[in-house]
Structure formats: structure tokens, C-alpha cells
Amino acid sequence: MENILEVKDLCKTYIVNKRQINVLRNVSFTVAKGEMVAIMGPSGSGKSTLLYSVSGMDRMTAGEVLFNGKSLSGMSENELSRVRIEDMGFIFQQMYMMKNLSVLDNIILPAVKSKKIKESRKKTVERGQELMRRLGIIEVAGNDINEVSGGQLQRACICRSMINCPEMLFADEPTGALNRSSSDEVMDELVKLNSGGTSIMLVTHDAKVAARCSRVLFIVDGNIKGEYNINREEPLRTRERSLNNWLMEMGW
């Protein structure tokens, strides 16, 4: 299967108080098109740094990241910005939204800024409304962002991440701020998107979330210690149990 993401010997180093801190050390892996991969590991292991580095949100110190065969390290800031807004989607634990815009206007904002899809504002609004309808939040389209629940707001973030029809979604603890019911609803939507062909890479500390993915990468001290392939044909509880057993073996 063709890869959408290829990571080769990725390193990320920070200098803090004149000390060199190696957060990521020679990390290599691939993500196939249509795959849904979870990144797990203890706190401080480099999970979020890895996500930001491979998505071009943060510059790597060394190594190479190929997205659709194109090297992110060789791109200018403007080129990176264009790839992020047009070919990638982002979902974060903290649901960043513009407070002066309605929920719908927040969702369509990336499309307004993009040159990828040339259409009228009316058509953009219609696509945003259709995404909201699919995720069951069309009734809050005109609401301010402080007038909706956490689960509704996170689903709005998913809509925003999909407005430019990205090839890959990157999610950093997308259910971390939600209760179990809202978390399950959000994961249901991500699984549907993945089933439709969207590649997804997400960071999570929740084995129940990771069990919905097709593969788990376990990172410790900036290195990938192991990976686990999940049989999504099995019942969810069976997947959760098997994954938890593997995580225990990894030192979780």
C-alpha cells in the first residue's frame, strides 16, 4: 500500500538553560494511505512533539519527513503553511476557536483562506453546513462558541479540519477534555472519516481510543519502543483487552 507519510531518522532538540534536550531521537516509521495510527507513551515521552514535527507544525532538528513524497524540511514557511491548510487537518485537545465568530464561521474559515477550492462563499457555507449536519451539530451553526457543549465544540473542530478535504488528519488528544460519552461520539466520527479514506494520526493516553485505530506506536524517551497492529474486525472489547495486555508488556 502506498504511504502518505514517511519519517526517516527524525530528531528534535531543544536548548533550555544552555542544556541540550533531545526530545526525539532517530525516529523512523511510515503511515499508509487510509491508515489510522495512534501514538501512545508516558507523559514527557515526545508524543505531541512527534505529531507537530511530522505535520510541519514544528521544524525538525534533523532527519526527513515526506508527505505524499514531498520533503517538508525543504519547504519554505509559505509552502508549509499551504500544505497544512490545504492537504492536512488538525484537531487539538484545546479547542481553539475565534471568539468573535459563530461556530459555522469558525468551521469555514480555513476554506476562506485557502486557494485549493475555488468556489463562492455561498457554496463554502453550504459545505460547512453539510459537515455540521453529518456530525449532528447543525442546530448550533449560528451559536457563539461559548454557547455549545464540549462535545459539540470538538465535533465542530472536526468539521473545521475537514472543510478543505484534507488527505490526512493530525489529532493531539482529541478526546482528552471530554467525558466518556462525548469521547465515544467523537471517535465514532473519526472512525467514519477514516473508513471514507482519510488517513489519521492521533496522540492519546486512552487505550479505549487507541483500540479504535489500526495500529499503535509506543514511544518512550523520544524513541519508538514498539508497535502493535490491531485487528479491527474483532469486537472492540477484545481489541481493548489485547491492547492493554501489550501496553503492560511495554511498561505502560
Whether residue 129 is contained in a domain is answered as no
Q: Could you list the residue range(s) of the whole structural domain that residue 8 is in?
A: 3-92+167-249
Count of structural domains within the chain: 1
The single-letter DSSP state of residue 208 is H
What CATH number does residue 81 fall under? Answer: 3.40.50.300
pLDDT surpassing 80 at residue 95:
no
Check residue 38 and give its pLDDT: 97
Residue 28 · residue 9 · CB < 8 Å: yes
The whole-angstrom separation of Cα 158 and Cα 187 is 10
Whether residue 11 is contained in a domain is answered as yes
Whether residue 142 is contained in a domain is answered as no
Rounded alpha-carbon distances, angstroms, from residue 22 to 26, 45, 134: 10, 11, 42
Whether residue 137 is contained in a domain is answered as no
Whether residue 227 is contained in a domain is answered as yes
The pLDDT tens digits of the residues spanning 9-38 come to 999 998 888 888 888 999 999 999 999 999
Check residue 93 and give its pLDDT: 74
Residue 60 · residue 73 · CB < 8 Å: yes
Provide the residue type at 204 as one letter: T
| CA-based nearest residue to 250, from 213, 224, 215, 214 | 224
The whole-angstrom separation of Cα 243 and Cα 59 is 32
Whether residue 116 is contained in a domain is answered as no
The pLDDT tens digits of the residues spanning 150-196 come to 889 888 998 999 999 899 999 999 888 778 888 888 899 899 999 99
Whether residue 191 is contained in a domain is answered as yes
Of 30-34, 81-85, 243-247, least confident by mean pLDDT is 81-85
Q: How confident is the model at residue 213 (pLDDT cuts 50, 70, 90)?
A: very high
Whether residue 115 is contained in a domain is answered as no
Where is 66: in which H helix or E strand? strand 62-67
Strands 215-220 and 223-229: antiparallel
| CA-based nearest residue to 224, from 4, 10, 1 | 10
Check residue 119 and give its pLDDT: 84
